[in-house]
Structure 1
Amino acid sequence: MTLLPLSGLPRPLPAAVRSPGAARALRLAVSLLPLLLIAVWAVLDRRSALDGAARLAAARPGWLPAAGLFTCLGWVAAACARQGAVPERLPPGLLLASQFAAGAANQVLPASLGAHAVTLRFLRNRGVPVARATASLALYALVRPVAKVLVLLVFVVAVPGLPRLGGLAPDSRGLSAAAAATFAALAAAAVVVAAVRPLRRPLLGFLGTALGDARLLHTMPSRFLLLWGGAAATPLLQGSVVACVGLSLGLPLSWAQVVLALLVASTVAGAVPAPGGIGPVDAALVVTMAAFGAPVGLATATVLGYRVLTVWLPLLPGALVLSLLVQRKVL
């Protein structure tokens, strides 16, 4: 009888990997990782939180509950848009919880990578195929800025008495540079795909799935309304939070002016991949509100208060929900 060489036999997994205790310890470590990342980020940005909390402590409290309500509705709008990006029906409660947790994950990774990673894991655990789940993230990421620009145009055309945007709009040189950079990025991606054959099939498969799902979703009225309605409502709710904080601090701008300022600032600075949009959007929002006639100090205080309500107060609960969802194998 011929004996097979030992090298040809499948090797058993180490006992540490097969142990249920090791698996539980690994899941516990993964569930605690968001808390660790949030703690590190909180230490690095603690000055903004303390300044914003001090400003809110001196504010008129009447408008702050309304700001909190609009903040909560922002997670509902995100959950609606996520549901509208997939044909499968998702459990509403768990979807909303995942978006609340995604808000915490989004503060430690740039360009919404944290929220996309949490949502991708949620969709995969709900049985959505990986190609369709990834396509839904791409569709969501595409629809949000388009909807924001459409809302901005509606504000400019339909709301009378708003400040003129001529001084804030980029000049022809800036637009030409942006167009050239976009064209160069697309050309580079096309060259890479053409040169690297192993990338062609998965990329073409992804594009086929994405285009097919986008066409399917736009034939489903419920998904169409959830996707575009949630995406359009998000900037309006965010602007309402800023407006409520500004009213509590005495900001001399109307609700429409504040929402327009946020739309302009987030559209101009949203391309900078900062964690949670913090930094470039904040600075652009202060500059825009100042251009609309608000004192710089008061505009800065409003933005700091807005960040406390939308980032710092939900941060620890969001991280705890994220860890709980990981432990319960929802993520």
Structure 2
Amino acid sequence: MSLLPLDGPPGPLPAAAPASVTAGSLPAPAPCAAIADPQPTGGHRAAAGPPRFLTRIGRPARRLLTLLPVLLIGVWAVLDWRALYDGTARLATADPWWLLVGLFYTCLGWISASVVRQGALPERLPPGLLVASQFAAGAANHVLPASLGAHAVTLRFLQGQGIPLARATASLALYALVRPIAKTLVLLGFLVTLPGLLRLGELVPDGRMLFLPAVAAGLGLGVTLLLVTVVRPLRRPAARFVRTALTDARRLHTMPSRILALWGGAAAAPLLQASVIHAVGSSLGMTLSWAQVAFAYLAASTAVGSVPAPGGIGPIDAAMVFTLAVYGVPVSLGTAVLIGYRVLTVWLPLLPGVLCMSALVHRKVL
């Protein structure tokens, strides 16, 4: 093997290949050339993206999902037009300034729900998108019973933010558990601090009224335990869910900011709802104090809160009219107050909430 001298003149450059050389006369590539540029296999094509037919199906499905809530709300408005009309007619004679106060408390309710959702997760969520998701979840909550719509929207939002399914589901369970506990603590606080102002003997439900919530809670717990015991494939996911929920709950309760957000927001939620009712009642001439209205709402929602109605509409309204009547409010005025309350908290934000949900779906946030 010869070495070129470092200080000698450079040798002649190789001559260029003639233009007449055809592709067939070129030397065959080395065997390693085939390795450098491998042919795409089926696995490589799958990793590049979904097949075209799935993309074609997915786009119309996403558009249909965007428009479906609007169609559902339209059907609901047609079926329940009388409540919407009566509430609007009664609110036309109300004091508009008190109605603005009620609308302000309604907006604070969405912020309160966002604070509780953030308190149920160690990770920090984007505040703007979180509030928008809860605004959309409020619209979905009035379509499906037992808060299923709100939980479904929130679960989809958390997964879009990179939260694993098990931890997102655990946060929803913690949210659903903390809210009734915080409401009960607030109710007990009213009983301790204001025993003379509140008509406790007439508002405390008897054993027959407590029968329905007890039966509902017992059936829910019994069915869950039966499914986990009988259906063997559910045991491992259920055990994983319990471990994740307990781990996250212990971690959250070592973070003061999350404790304040979780329990403070959950305690503020029923008080904000009661504030909306008090503002609507004041606009229509109701003379009850805020403490009486708040206790009436806490008692009514606690007594019939387990009834699976969309957004609590129906059972809570009937119980609230009864509790207001205990304080001397005429049934017609109490009914008008509850209709106005539903217009402010359900009908007025319903269409903007649905449009917000459609926008979040279109942007792939949900």
Q: Give the TM-score of the pair, scaled to structure 2.
A: 0.83
Matched, 1:42 2:66: no
Corresponding residue of 1:6: none
Following TM superposition, by how much is the alpha carbon of 1:231 offset from its aligned partner in structure 2, in angstroms?
Answer: 0.6
Corresponding residue of 1:28: 63
Deviations 1:220-274 (A, max 9, x none): 1111110111111111111001000000101121111111111111111111100
Following TM superposition, by how much is the alpha carbon of 1:175 offset from its aligned partner in structure 2, in angstroms?
Answer: 4.4
Matched, 1:273 2:273: no
Return closer, same or farther for 1:195/1:305 CA change in 2, 3 Å cut-off.
same
Cα distance in 1 between the residues matched to 2:342 and 2:53: 44
Cα distance in 1 between the residues matched to 2:282 and 2:294: 13
Matched ranges for 1:81-230 at <5 A = 81-172=116-207, 175=210, 179=214, 182-183=217-218, 185-230=220-265
Corresponding residue of 2:346: 311
Return closer, same or farther for 1:259/1:176 CA change in 2, 3 Å cut-off.
closer
Following TM superposition, by how much is the alpha carbon of 1:148 offset from its aligned partner in structure 2, in angstroms?
Answer: 0.7
Q: Which runs of 5+ in 1 are unaligned?
A: 1-8
Corresponding residue of 1:295: 330
The one of 242, 245, 250 aligned to 2:277: 242
Query: Contact (CA 8 Å) 1:71, 1:237: kept in 2 or not?
Result: yes
Paired residue type of 2:121? V
Deviations 1:189-236 (A, max 9, x none): 323322221111000110111111111111111111101111111111
Paired residue type of 2:198? P
Query: Contact (CA 8 Å) 1:156, 1:162: kept in 2 or not?
Result: no
Number of equivalent positions: 321
Following TM superposition, by how much is the alpha carbon of 1:39 offset from its aligned partner in structure 2, in angstroms?
Answer: 1.2
Corresponding residue of 1:3: none
Cα distance in 1 between the residues matched to 2:256 and 2:213: 35
Paired residue type of 2:236? R
Cα distance in 2 between the residues matched to 1:76 and 1:227: 12
Return closer, same or farther for 1:180/1:119 CA change in 2, 3 Å cut-off.
closer
Select the structure of larger CA radius of gyration.
Answer: 2
Q: Which has the higher contact order (CA 8 A, sep 6+)?
A: 1
Cα distance in 2 between the residues matched to 1:175 and 1:55: 33
CA RMSD of aligned residues (A): 2.0
Query: Contact (CA 8 Å) 1:79, 1:96: kept in 2 or not?
Result: yes
Return closer, same or farther for 1:180/1:315 CA change in 2, 3 Å cut-off.
closer
Cα distance in 2 between the residues matched to 1:273 and 1:62: 34
Corresponding residue of 2:29: none
Q: Give the TM-score of the pair, scaled to structure 1.
A: 0.92
Following TM superposition, by how much is the alpha carbon of 1:44 offset from its aligned partner in structure 2, in angstroms?
Answer: 1.7
Corresponding residue of 2:26: none
Following TM superposition, by how much is the alpha carbon of 1:168 offset from its aligned partner in structure 2, in angstroms?
Answer: 3.0
Corresponding residue of 2:10: none
Corresponding residue of 2:89: 54
Paired residue type of 1:114? G
Following TM superposition, by how much is the alpha carbon of 1:65 offset from its aligned partner in structure 2, in angstroms?
Answer: 1.1
> Percent of counterpart pairs with the same letter?
64
Matched, 1:231 2:266: yes
